[in-house]
Structure 1
Amino acid sequence: MAWKPSEISDQSGRTFVITGANGGIGEQTTKVLASKGATVIMACRNAAKAQQVADGIEGDVRVAALDLASLASVREFADSTGAFDVLINNAGLMNIPFSRTADGFETQWGVNHLGHYALTGLLLDKISDRVVTLSSIAHKQTPKLWIDDLNYENRRYQRNLAYAQSKLSNLMFARELQRRLTAAGSSKRSYGVHPGVSATDLFAHTETPLDKIAKPFIRLIGHSPAKAAHSSLFAATMPDADPAIYWGPARFMGNRGPVEQSSSSKLSRNQDLWRRLWEESERLTGVTYKF
């Protein structure tokens, strides 16, 4: 039988931090966890919008400001956050026009990967249980990881490849973090998951005519944000979930379906690239992990 959120045990006494929780998959994840008794911290760039969402959710839901496009904001959030159980790296941008973050990083890669890399490293000693990082089936859509030009200094910007590279980086980061946790003898775990395809606001910020037609089309091939949240919820709460498995929908080319073992690209399994990505992320953010 397919896994359902009803299988989640009582989460009273546990605290979850979720980035980008003011809509879509993050909002749905927050609702379920709060309904199970958890304390949920919605870490969002737009705190006012997040508070409006939080006010409509029953349970212990709190809002904190976090802008993943600013390392200063990431450090401020990390400094002000106490001990908790689970970090869910959920926030993301998709297929936006070229821009750079406050620190000069290409925005999709800077927010989706580097911001979460820095956040996780700065919070790791405060996390008691696990880290869940959302990747995407789009990680398969890039032919390589431009390890020598991850930040688009010397190549033409292609928004779809930039997004795919950021999602590939998410998956490689999750796997390398697990490898390093295991090597350090830590009981903490790192999961890479994907939600399938869902008509969230990710599809409404490309600043092209596609913004008006994307959601209706995606509804035909994907599934609801509530079902898309199942991958995150499964990895965040199931005690015996295997961190070596890439959890997510596997049916209809990964677009939708129940949570199960999902396929990933050969490129995403290149452990040398995991290491090199980690080293480059450390160099660019200045964040060194302490295991």
Structure 2
Amino acid sequence: MPKWTARDIVDQQGRTFVVTGANSGLGAVAARALGSAGAHVVLACRDVEKGAAVAAEIGGNAEVRRVDLADLDSVREFAAGIDRVDVLVNNAGVMAVPKRSTADGFEMHFGTNHLGHFALTGLLLDRVTDRVVTVSSLLHRFGRINLDDPNFEHRRYRRSSAYAQSKLANLMFAYELQRRLSAAGSEIKSVAAHPGYASTNLQTHTESFWGLVIGVGHLFTQRAKIGALPELYAATVPDVAGGSYIGPRGPFGLRGYPRVVGSSGRSRDRSVARALWAESESMTGVTYGFGS
């Protein structure tokens, strides 16, 4: 199988991409690659100063707009300012941070990684022309969706469990979104991706000893430029199928060039996905409209 790289991205001139978390890490790599392919890239960032530095590297076809996925008012304000988007890349996230809440009172991982992107996608969906890409993680395999206590209010908080739950929620959302788009007869695609074990600054922002341990693990990771390939593949390959999950093709999905990969049995549980969807609409106040 040929090794798909950023050089294989087809011409993206005339197309607009919104990439969340594009101020650093995989999001910045993806934004640069999309800009190099001719796309207009909206860097959706909480840290607009860092985002501006990345946009300056890309050039005149990039712009920065502020969005804080941990604040639904910020998500709504951002979405209201977007007129059209061909591809939405739900890339941003937090990883294994100490227990804290979003502006709306949700557990930080679930609120930022899942609910923030759930709300953003729902608010923008009527302006998306091509696809939605949602970035999950290998660690979704360790996640369990606890709809009785998604915010860890009544159970012991473990940052690894909170992160894994949010990444499983990302993947289940991507699959359920595709099912609902297909049922509505929409041609918009929902595609998921994961980077494998990529060296980014996400793991070092855990504010814990775990962050130091993961930092040592960087000796065994692949570069961010390779880690970003699955989401770039998911976002740009014309014939990628809706409902696909793209990840590295190497051993255990840790490293390598992108291809369609499998996911856990829990990620395919349609009854839990429907319940998660309903709860997400209730928690965010964002109700999806798929048209007739």
Matching residue's letter, 1:219: L
Is residue 189–residue 243 contact of structure 2 (8 Å, CA) maintained in 1? Answer: no
**Match of 2:289?**
290
**Match of 1:107?**
108
The offset of 1:9, in angstroms, is 1.2
The offset of 1:213, in angstroms, is 4.4
Matching residue's letter, 1:138: L
Is residue 133–residue 191 contact of structure 1 (8 Å, CA) maintained in 2? Answer: yes
**Match of 1:130?**
131
**Match of 1:37?**
38
The offset of 1:246, in angstroms, is 1.2
Q: TM-score under structure 1 normalisation?
A: 0.97
Partner SS, residue 108 of structure 1:
helix
Q: Distance in 2 between matches of 1:245 and 1:79?
A: 29
Partner SS, residue 151 of structure 2:
coil
The worse-fitting range, judged by mean Cα deviation, of 96-105 and 256-265 is 256-265
Match runs of 1:57-72 below 5 Å: 57-72=58-73
Q: Distance in 2 between matches of 1:40 and 1:201?
A: 22
Q: Distance in 2 between matches of 1:248 and 1:58?
A: 29
Structure 2, unaligned runs of 5 or more? none
The offset of 1:262, in angstroms, is 1.5
Structure 1, unaligned runs of 5 or more? none
Is residue 88–residue 132 contact of structure 1 (8 Å, CA) maintained in 2? Answer: yes
**Match of 1:279?**
278
Matching residue's letter, 1:121: G
Q: TM-score under structure 2 normalisation?
A: 0.96
Matching residue's letter, 1:178: Q
Matching residue's letter, 1:265: S
Q: Distance in 1 between matches of 2:10 and 2:168?
A: 31
Matching residue's letter, 2:154: N
Instruction: Give the aligned length.
Output: 289
Match runs of 1:169-208 below 5 Å: 169-208=169-208
Is residue 189–residue 241 contact of structure 2 (8 Å, CA) maintained in 1? Answer: no
**Match of 1:151?**
151
Match runs of 1:1-291 below 5 Å: 1-142=2-143, 144-220=144-220, 222-291=221-290
Matching residue's letter, 1:228: G
What percentage of aligned pairs have identical amino acids?
50
Q: CA separation of 1:41/1:244 partners in 2, compared to 1, >3 Å: closer, same or farther?
A: same
Q: Distance in 2 between matches of 1:109 and 1:233?
A: 24
Q: CA RMSD in A?
A: 1.1
Q: Distance in 2 between matches of 1:32 and 1:273?
A: 36
Matching residue's letter, 1:233: L
Partner SS, residue 41 of structure 1:
strand
Matching residue's letter, 1:111: T
Q: Deviations over 1:255-277 (max 9, x none)?
A: 11111121211100101111000
Q: Distance in 1 between matches of 2:248 and 2:177?
A: 23
Q: Distance in 2 between matches of 1:175 and 1:213?
A: 32
The offset of 1:250, in angstroms, is 3.4
Partner SS, residue 18 of structure 2:
strand
Q: Distance in 2 between matches of 1:210 and 1:135?
A: 20
Is residue 40–residue 61 contact of structure 1 (8 Å, CA) maintained in 2? Answer: yes
Is residue 248–residue 259 contact of structure 2 (8 Å, CA) maintained in 1? Answer: yes
Matching residue's letter, 1:41: V
